[in-house]
Structure 1
Amino acid sequence: MGTRLRETASEVAALLWREHVVYRERGGGVVIRGEHVQRWISMAPSGGRDEILLRAGRILDGGTTAPARTEALASLNAGTNELAAICRRLLAEVTTDPARPSPPPRRVRKRERRIRKGRHTSLTSWVVIAGVIALVGLYAYNAVLARLP
């Protein structure tokens, strides 16, 4: 069923969006991501034979996925067009779901980052290294003094 589910998901994805990514979930399901529309569809095997659970949700800032907002059961034997129609309905519900308003857009401040080439040891690191060397030297000095008559 896994191979068949992946093939079906690829066909449905091509009908939904020109730009999409299809990948397998850990549980054996398949996810279709539409980054440009900030939405995702999940197809997973259900308890029934040839039944799949379709879930839809949003993609949050940073690329993480929000929990599913809508879901429906469908037959894997249904045609690709029928499955795409169900997915479109779920995506429309995700878009217009008044119970869960979308988060306000965040303003991202750009920080200037200094690009470092290679590794550099900071001043604090050198102070720590010097302190450890001094302690080892003091211990060795005391050990030599303790052996003198």
Structure 2
Amino acid sequence: MRAELRDTAGALAKLLWREHIVYRDRVGHVVIRGEHVQRWISLAPTGGRDEVLIRAGRILDGGTTAPARSEAVVPLSAGTGALAAVCRRLLADAAADAAPSAPGRAR
């Protein structure tokens, strides 16, 4: 499963961003970093055999990562295109959470 996650992450990274870094973190999750957009995506195995937990968040000033802003469990068999669509939705959620709210509007 770990090798499959690494391969899937590499394919997703190419669909999501032209510039990216793919690596394995300390706990074994595969992380895709898009420094130029200040966002990250991680893929982690779940208890399900064919499922992956996808999490998205921001990269803070100085290069550290903020906690995940959104996450979803998706079957790996859905295919790279479907996984990329989920990643884009999660990244959009993370971007919306990071955007400053307009004056006078409650969040």
User: Is the pair's TM-score, using the shorter chain for normalization, greater than 0.5?
Assistant: yes
Count of residue pairs the alignment pairs up: 100
- Per-residue CA shift, 1:84-125, capped at 9, x if unaligned? 00000000000112xx656xxxxxxxxxxxxxxxxxxxxxxx
Larger radius of gyration: 1
d(CA) in 1 for partners of 2:72, 2:93: 12
With normalisation by structure 2, the TM-score equals 0.89
The alignment yields a C-alpha RMSD, in angstroms, of 1.2
TM-score w.r.t. the length of structure 1 is 0.65
Contact conserved, 1:28 with 1:45, CA < 8 A, in 2?
no
Which has the larger share of strand? Answer: 2
TM-superposed deviation, 1:27: 2.1
* Code of the aligned partner of 2:52: I
Q: Residues of 2 paired with 1:51 and 1:19: CA distance?
A: 26
Identity %: 69
Aligned counterpart, 2:52: 52
Equivalent residues in 2 for 1:67-146, closer than 5 Å: 67-97=67-97
2:95, 2:81 → 1: CA distance? 21
- Structure 2: 5+ residue runs without aligned partners? 101-107
| 2:8 match | 8
Higher helix share: 1
Structure 1 runs, 4 residues or longer, greater than 2 Å off: none
